[in-house]
């Protein structure tokens, strides 16, 4: 390409020289040495410009090719990212749908379970209420019976004590009035009969006293009823020391004091 341009330049220079010769004739004849130098300089400058233009063209072409390849790479990367994001979005939608269905199932199951649990709890509470009511009534009856029993024992004890006192008085009166008119046999019979009566009375009195005294210490009056066996057999002091009933040997769950 440079060689072609130099040839064109030489042809142009020759035409110029001919024109110059024809115009001025013999008036002006250029120096052959000067003509050759100018010609070489012009050819060198044109060659440099041509080389620079070609290099610029090559640089621009390479840059354009690189830019297109870079754009292709960017486009491929973006497309790949878009496909990946689309896949993630699809997976996300699938996962969300699964979780929503699972949550719906759990809510339905929880609702059914809560309804069943509330019904069962209500039924159980009603049963417990009925049982507590039944036991409260039973305990009240037993408590009343125990109190009545204790009152009856105390009253019987007082009545028998009064009878004994009255018998003693009668005995003293009879002894003073009738002993003088009795012989030895009758007197001995009377004494023997009186002793028997006194023995029986004392035994009944002791039985009453024993029934009203603590089954453990036999000294203090009974004040405590035991549960669940319902035995009325302990005083306050002994009730704090035992864990089983002294009568039936059943474990004591609760102790209640009875006030006469």
DSSP 220: S
Identify which has the larger pLDDT, 131 or 155. Answer: 131
DSSP 251: B
What does pTM read for this prediction? 0.28
**11-22 pLDDT tens trace:** 344 444 444 444
User: Given the structure tokens 């028997």, which residue do they identify?
Assistant: 196
Q: How confident is the model at residue 127 (pLDDT cuts 50, 70, 90)?
A: confident
- The answer to whether residue 36 sits within a structural domain is no
- The answer to whether residue 237 sits within a structural domain is yes
- The answer to whether residue 37 sits within a structural domain is no
pLDDT at 209: 52
- The answer to whether residue 251 sits within a structural domain is yes
Instruction: Read off the CATH number of the domain in which 229 is found.
Output: 3.30.40.10
- The rounded distance, in Å, linking the Cα atoms of 189 and 198 is 14
CA count, 13 A, side-chain hemisphere, 198: 12
pLDDT at 149: 76
Q: In what order do the strands lie in the sheet with 232-234?
A: 232-234, 224-227, 254-257
Mean pLDDT on 7-12: 39
The count of domains in the chain is 1
Sign of CA dihedral 243, 248, 253, 258: negative
- The answer to whether residue 246 sits within a structural domain is yes
Q: How confident is the model at residue 9 (pLDDT cuts 50, 70, 90)?
A: very low
Structural domain containing residue 252: 214-260
Identify which has the larger pLDDT, 62 or 257. Answer: 257
Cβ 123 vs Cβ 229: under 8 Å? no
User: Given the structure tokens 């007197």, which residue do they identify?
Assistant: 187
- The answer to whether residue 230 sits within a structural domain is yes
Sign of CA dihedral 128, 133, 139, 142: negative
Mean pLDDT on 33-58: 68
- The answer to whether residue 181 sits within a structural domain is no
- The answer to whether residue 125 sits within a structural domain is no
pLDDT at 206: 57
């Amino acid at each position: 390409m440079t060689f072609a341009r130099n040839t064109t330049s030489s042809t142009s220079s020759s035409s110029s020289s001919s024109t110059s010769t024809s115009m001025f004739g013999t008036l002006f004849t250029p120096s052959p040495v000067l003509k050759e130098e100018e010609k070489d300089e012009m050819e060198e400058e044109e060659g440099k410009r041509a080389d620079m233009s070609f290099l610029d063209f090559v640089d621009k072409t390479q840059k354009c090719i690189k830019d297109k390849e870079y754009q292709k790479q960017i486009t491929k990367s973006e497309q790949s990212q878009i496909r990946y994001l689309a896949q993630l979005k699809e997976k996300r939608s699938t996962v969300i749908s699964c979780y929503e269905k699972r949550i719906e199932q759990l809510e339905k199951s929880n609702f059914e379970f809560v309804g069943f649990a509330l019904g069962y709890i209500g039924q159980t509470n009603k049963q417990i209420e009925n049982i507590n009511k039944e036991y409260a009534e039973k305990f009240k009856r037993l408590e009343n019976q125990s109190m009545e029993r204790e009152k009856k024992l105390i009253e019987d004890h007082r009545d028998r004590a009064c009878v004994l006192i009255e018998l003693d008085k009668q005995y003293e009166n009879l002894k003073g009035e009738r002993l003088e008119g009795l012989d030895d046999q009758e007197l001995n019979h009377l004494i023997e009969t009186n002793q028997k009566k006194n023995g029986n009375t004392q035994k009944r009195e002791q039985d009453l006293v024993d029934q009203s005294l603590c089954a453990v210490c036999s000294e203090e009056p009974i004040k405590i009823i035991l549960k669940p066996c319902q035995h009325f057999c302990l005083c306050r002091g002994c009730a704090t020391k035992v864990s089983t009933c002294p009568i039936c040997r059943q474990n004591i769950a609760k102790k209640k004091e009875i006030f006469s």
